[in-house]
Amino acid sequence: MPASDEPLLAAAETPAPSTARGMVSIMRGNALNLLLPVVAVAMWMDQAGFPDGVVFLVSCLGLLPLAGLLGEITEQVALHTSDTLGGLLNATFGNATEMIVSYFALQRGLLSVVQSSLLGSILSNLLLVLGCALLAAGVRVGPNKQVKHNLLNAQSNTELLLVAILGLAVPTMIVYTGKMEPGEERELALSRAIAFCLLLLYLCYVVFQLVTHSKLFDECEEETPCPKVAKTRGSVKATPTEQERAIAAQEGRPEEEEEETKLPLGGALAMLCLVTVAIAAVSEIITGAIEGAAEAWDVNPTFVGFVILPIVGNAAEHSTAILFAWRCKMDVAFGVALGSSTQIALFAVPTMVLLAIPLGQPLDLFFGAFEIGVLFVSALLVASVCEDGSTNWLEGAMLIIAYAIICIAYYFG
């Protein structure tokens, strides 16, 4: 048999991925999936009228396996497409939770909850999620190694985030200079006009990332010792080069595990939607119980809305970013963490402002001087960390500590 026919036969022998078989494989691959029945328990406890503190804790526990499933299924989508598109899809589905919760809060007139939870989600993704991802990648490659990432991806997100912060800061600055009053008609009109501009900018970024400059976003950094990806019919396998195998053996590191498609693209997208709906349902229960839990635990409600709720809502992004960072797929990790922050600032926040118009709610972009200042300094810190195209575990620890300082300020504030 000619040697050239062997790859074709090997590809033909590879079975096409099945949704049922793939989900069984994914479910068996993570011990956290044993907690999935907790989701049903949380829903039952919510309907049965258990104390809010108990419902809140059980719901958070049920959210953990759902976040893990979202990360696994999003990885399957990324294997069918590209790292950039996979990161964008995960950011979109991950932020669906914040969007749904914010919409329900908006309907009830809880404007401060909408603002604090969305602003807290930006900071949670920007500092905590990205920091944990950088720390995980730094530990994986070794303490004396730098982790490379796509510089264009990081710069684009941080620059867009700074523009979004400018849009959020303008109403606050105008109010504090005494030219307008918060909530008055002119200030609302200003906020809605800025919201429309931010949405237009987000649309431009999507076109830039997926159409005009997609090849630049898909480029991988060769310096990071990660496996190269080679596609075959029916599967995608990570195939390290001989040099990478030698480096791994010399450093005592195990070779990268092969990655293969366990789900067809249609099945992966369908499961992604189902898991997102489940996360939204659990998050709604958490939102309903969070005020009672804060009162029962004697915790500042502002701290609960700005810190605890975003951390719980961002569990999906947190899990996925760390998963990809541990596998040295930093472009996806950055796309999830920074992409989520950018998407909330440029899409979720202005969308809520515009949705408030038909709902008759006076939601504006006046967030307060302290909140805008913290957000601005955090964006500058992340831009500084990402500016050279490489990171390490210490910079991840810096971002985590920065987030802890903000949390402490809100706890005592």
Pick from 372, 397, 338: nearest CA to 139: 397
Is 376 a residue whose pLDDT tops 90? yes
Query: Could you read off the pLDDT of 40-74 as tens digits, one per residue?
Result: 999 999 888 888 888 988 988 887 788 777 767 77
* 4 assigned to some structural domain: no
Domain of 87, in residue numbers:
12-412
Query: What does the pLDDT read at residue 225?
Result: 52
* 2 assigned to some structural domain: no
235 pLDDT tier (thresholds 50, 70, 90): very low
Question: 105 is written with which tokens?
Answer: 């809060």
Question: 241 is written with which tokens?
Answer: 């080069």
* Contact (CB, 8 A) for 70 and 94: yes
Phi-psi category of residue 142: left, alpha or beta, with phi > 0 → left and psi -120 to 50 → alpha: left
| CATH code: domain of residue 344 | 1.20.1420.30
pTM higher than 0.85, yes or no?
Answer: no
* 347 assigned to some structural domain: yes
State in Å, rounded, how far the first CA of the chain is from the last one.
75
For residues 53 and 75, which has the higher predicted lDDT (pLDDT)? 53
**Could you say which DSSP state residue 299 is in?**
-
Total residues found in the chain within this entry: 413
Query: Could you read off the pLDDT of 202-212 as tens digits, one per residue?
Result: 989 888 877 77
Is 109 a residue whose pLDDT tops 90? no
406 pLDDT tier (thresholds 50, 70, 90): very high
346 pLDDT tier (thresholds 50, 70, 90): very high
Longest dimension (CA), the chain: 84
**Could you say which DSSP state residue 254 is in?**
P
**Chain centroid, CA 325 distance in Å:** 13
Pick from 202, 409, 404: nearest CA to 311: 404
Pick from 406, 320, 314, 379: nearest CA to 118: 314
Pick from 36, 41, 13: nearest CA to 23: 36
* 5 assigned to some structural domain: no
Distance CA 128, CA 397 (A): 9
163 pLDDT tier (thresholds 50, 70, 90): very high
**Beta-carbon count within 10 A of 77 CB:** 21
* 126 assigned to some structural domain: yes
* 335 assigned to some structural domain: yes
Q: What is the number of structural domains in the chain?
A: 1
Q: Which residues pair with 391 in a beta bridge?
A: 147
State mean pLDDT over 168-181. 88
- Tokens 């075959």 — which residue? 232
* 6 assigned to some structural domain: no
* 76 assigned to some structural domain: yes
Spatial neighbors of 36 by CB under 8 A, at least 6 apart, are 62, 65, 66
